[in-house]
Structure 1
C-alpha cells in the first residue's frame, strides 16, 4: 500500500503488510509489517508483530513485538513499548521512550 503526496490515512489489516506512507497516519494490524514513513509529519502505528519501521520527521509507536525502528533525518518521537526492540536514532533531535523487553 502506498500513500500519496496529500494527507492520507493508510491502514494495513491483519497479516504481513508492506506500507509506504504519504503525509498522515499510517496504521497496521497484527503481522510482521514493513512500514516506511513518507514526506511530512507522519504518525506511524506498528501494532502487534515484529515490524520494521523507517521514519522521517515522525511519531512512531511500535506496540508489542520485536521491532526494528530507524529514525530518519527529522525530529522523531519513538515509543518502543513491549518487546525486544532495536532503535537507531537518526539526525535531528529525537526523543525515545523504551518499554519492557530485554
Structure 2
C-alpha cells in the first residue's frame, strides 16, 4: 500500500502488509500480523499494532508505536518519539534528538524480555516517563556494559539502554504524557 504526497490515513489489512506513507504527515495503522511500515517525508504517526512489526519513520519528526509483538522501531532523521509498548522491542532513534517513551504497562519480569534502546545518545536523547511514573520510581543498574531501568518497588524491567552507564542517564528523564495514536 502506498500513500500520496498529501497527508494520508492508511489502515493495513489482515495479513502481512507493506505500507509506504510517502510524503506528507501520515497516520498509519499496521493492523494484524507482521507489517513493514515506512513513513518517509513529513511528521508521521506510525503504529505497528499487533504481531511482529518493522516501523521506520525516515525523515521528519515522527511518532512510532510498536504495539503487541516483537517490534523493530527506527526513527530515522528528525526528533522522533518512540514507544515499544508490549513485548520485547528494539528501539533505534537514529539522527536527531529522540524521546524513548517508557510506561509501567510495558514492564516485564526479566532483562531478556525487556525493550532495548539500542542507540541512546547521551546529552541529545531523552527517556520519557508516562503516566504517574517519575525518575524517583526507578532503579538503574549496570548489566553487561548497559543500563537496566527497573521499577524500584517491584524490580520489574522497563528497558535496557545499550552501552550507556547509569550515571550517564541521570538528568535525561522527562515527563512525557503523549498520545501516540
TM-score class, shorter-chain normalisation, is: over 0.9
Mapped partners of 2:78, 2:107: distance in 1: 26
Give the Å deviation of 1:100.
Answer: 3.3
Would you say 1:63 and 2:67 are equivalent positions?
A: yes
Would you say 1:89 and 2:93 are equivalent positions?
A: yes
Would you say 1:100 and 2:107 are equivalent positions?
A: yes
Mapped partners of 2:93, 2:44: distance in 1: 16
Q: Which residue of 1 aligns with 2:39?
A: 37
For structure 2, the 5+ residue unaligned runs are 114-181
For structure 1, the 5+ residue unaligned runs are none
Deviating 4+ runs (over 2 angstroms): 98-101
CA RMSD of aligned residues (A): 1.2
Q: TM-score, normalised by structure 1?
A: 0.93
Q: TM-score, normalised by structure 2?
A: 0.54
CA radius of gyration, larger in: 2
Q: Which residue of 1 aligns with 2:55?
A: 53
Would you say 1:8 and 2:14 are equivalent positions?
A: no
Point out which structure has higher relative CO (alpha carbons under 8 A, 6+ apart).
1
